[in-house]
Amino acid sequence: MDKILRVNMGAAGGPTFQETPLGDYAGLAGRALTSAVVAKEVPPLCHPLGEDNKLVIAPGLLSGTTAAMSGRISVGCKSPLTGGIKEANAGGQASQVLARLGYAAIILEGKPQDNTLYRLLINKDGVKIWADNSLRLLPNYDLIDKMKQEYGEKAAFMSIGPAGEMKLAAASIACTDMEQRPTRHAGRGGVGAVMGSKGIKVIILDDSGMKMRSPKDPEKFKESTRKWVEGLQKHPVTGEGLPAYGTNVLTNILNEAGGYPTYNFKQGRFDGAAKISGEAQAELETKRGGLATHGCHRGCIIRCSGTYNDKDGHYLTKQPEYETVWAHGGNCGIDDLDTIAMLDFLDDNYGVDTIEMGATVGVAMEAGLIKFGDGQGAINLVKEVGQGTHLGRILGSGAAVTGKVFGVERVPVVKGQAMPAYDPRAVQGIGVTYATTPMGADHTAGYAVTANVLNVGGNVDPMKPEGQIELSRNLQIATAAVDSTGMCLFVAFAVLDQPETFQALIDSINAFYGLALTADDVVALGKSVLKNERDFNARAGFTAKQDRLPDYFKKEAFPPHNITFQVTDEDLDKVFNW
């Protein structure tokens, strides 16, 4: 993992590539690397779909090693959705495989001369890139079926569906999981549109013949990764809750807390919540011969994923995540798991972000295109995206554009990106994160739901402004660091509560690289990542005024607690004062 593959899609005679050393980027990986490259190399005022934007794909520090949970891959660029910097990361196999192939990053640069689609292949023999227009507008599942036949069971794939080819701002990049299904998406911010603008349909990563990455100090590494696993297994969230019910364990919890936004963020409890909860979902999955617990990449021990079969017991989609079940379910007044699973499948197949799409359907419902609760109507709307109709293009451009086109005022976005599954009025800490993260509304950027609702990493009253700034700040810093390790963010539950588990992670990195990092160094890394990101955004024209929730969150009281967002603008502006 000591080299970067730079692919110039804009070269006159067709794409060219070269391998370069890490240089200034030595020591960086994952989000730290993608954000450093974007901040340094992408002109902040460039068009996100133009020649000057770059798509940076980077495994984390520990990806490709034997360390558990190290399978996240970071994708960075200037976002077509927010206009700011973007890092979206995904699970699946890509990160481990790319890391074992020796690459710290793939950087797609330049703008293709024409509309040709390309495949990019990296294996033990090197790199190949070639035109293949036969793949045009293939949905992800069909595409990957074709790829599997050609490249066998060992290969991992990163691909875009029709949405990415159409350069829609909600387009994702799909990464295949252990069963080579295109189910793990770098979803947010339209990274798929940027891949589409570079003309790359699929990246084939095959590490056959490559070895596991080897640590500098194998003994210490073995010992620390053992403690790491131990820590994850003993924490109730990572050892029990997530394995049993997946992320959707949160539906009942958030609904109970009154922080589950329904009917396009109108109220915090949903009558149909129990019907679409993780508990109900796990039961149904098991009954139909699916899996209620399953890892998305080799080396995952939390196994929060699953498989969702249809009524006839045939695979329909991976177990929809909590945010997906919320976005397409509760947020739209839909309480039918099969409908939600179908929407999850369609999103994965067309290659769009489930959170953005669910929020967008909610806005379309608010605009009156279909009624809240109309599951078949929602399916029809998402199918329009895959078909590339005019309506589909509107919806595939995300909630903000959909709100503009249909004249809707209540559009739950920050920096143009849709809010996820936690209302910022009843969970004010996450509201601080939505408002201030450089990413646009994003729960993963500083998951304050921990101390606000889950009693993890402390306790901060979710409905009072006090303590939320510090909570979000600390989580944003920690997350930026975790996102650079290749570790799944869910390790944070154990890391926040168990100092020895945090230490085991640091020890693993130290043993692997022969370093002597301390907790302070981890904090410094997180801060430096955020600094790069904030700096890019400032140069792109963002100010404190973009670090705000839409006005109505400060004015509309949110049932059942009938509360508004209470954190002051002045306090929001202190998040990055360190």
Contact residues toward a copy of itself (CB under 8 A) are 43-47, 49-50, 52, 80, 166-169, 193, 196-197, 389-391, 393-394, 397, 401, 404-407, 409, 539-546, 548, 550-552
In angstroms, give the least distance from the CB of 117 to a copy of itself. 15
Q: Which is nearer to a copy of itself, 151 or 434 (CB)?
A: 434
The answer to whether 76 touches 570, Cβ cutoff 8 Å, is: no
Q: Which is nearer to a copy of itself, 3 or 47 (CB)?
A: 47
In angstroms, give the least distance from the CB of 126 to a copy of itself. 32
- Rounded Cα distance between 249 and 255, Å, is 11
Cα-based angle 184, 139, 318 (whole degrees, multiple of 5): 35
In angstroms, give the least distance from the CB of 220 to a copy of itself. 48
Residue with tokens 């339209």: 190
Q: Name the token pair of 263.
A: 């009917």
Q: Give all strands of the β-sheet with 305-309 in edge-to-edge order.
A: 291-294, 305-309, 315-318
Q: Which is nearer to a copy of itself, 254 or 413 (CB)?
A: 413
Inter-CA distances, 162 with 120, 202, 357, 577, Å: 18, 12, 15, 42
Q: Which is nearer to a copy of itself, 167 or 185 (CB)?
A: 167
Q: Which is nearer to a copy of itself, 305 or 397 (CB)?
A: 397
In angstroms, give the least distance from the CB of 425 to a copy of itself. 17
The answer to whether 191 touches 75, Cβ cutoff 8 Å, is: yes
Q: Which is nearer to a copy of itself, 93 or 546 (CB)?
A: 546
The answer to whether 147 touches 155, Cβ cutoff 8 Å, is: yes
In angstroms, give the least distance from the CB of 300 to a copy of itself. 35
In angstroms, give the least distance from the CB of 550 to a copy of itself. 7
Q: Which is nearer to a copy of itself, 44 or 139 (CB)?
A: 44
- Rounded Cα distance between 574 and 303, Å, is 37
Q: Which is nearer to a copy of itself, 266 or 539 (CB)?
A: 539
The answer to whether 384 touches 215, Cβ cutoff 8 Å, is: no
Single-letter amino acid, residue 318: K
In angstroms, give the least distance from the CB of 405 to a copy of itself. 5
The answer to whether 96 touches 71, Cβ cutoff 8 Å, is: yes
Q: Which is nearer to a copy of itself, 47 or 154 (CB)?
A: 47
Which of these, 487, 446, 489, lies nearest to 468 by C-alpha position? 446
Decide: helix, strand or coil at residue 243.
helix
In angstroms, give the least distance from the CB of 303 to a copy of itself. 38
Q: Which is nearer to a copy of itself, 134 or 543 (CB)?
A: 543
In angstroms, give the least distance from the CB of 426 to a copy of itself. 22
In sequence order, the 6+-apart residues with CB closer than 8 A to the CB of 524 are none
In angstroms, give the least distance from the CB of 298 to a copy of itself. 36
User: Which run of H or of E encompasses 507?
Assistant: helix 499-513
The answer to whether 182 touches 141, Cβ cutoff 8 Å, is: yes
DSSP sequence for 292-345: EEE-SSTT-SS-BEEEEE-TTS-EEEE---HHHIIIIIGGGT---HHHHHHHHH
Q: Which is nearer to a copy of itself, 196 or 241 (CB)?
A: 196
Q: How far apart are the first and last CA of the chain?
A: 32
In angstroms, give the least distance from the CB of 192 to a copy of itself. 12
In sequence order, the 6+-apart residues with CB closer than 8 A to the CB of 350 are 139, 140, 161, 162, 163, 382, 385, 386, 396
Q: Which is nearer to a copy of itself, 131 or 391 (CB)?
A: 391
In angstroms, give the least distance from the CB of 26 to a copy of itself. 31
In sequence order, the 6+-apart residues with CB closer than 8 A to the CB of 470 are none
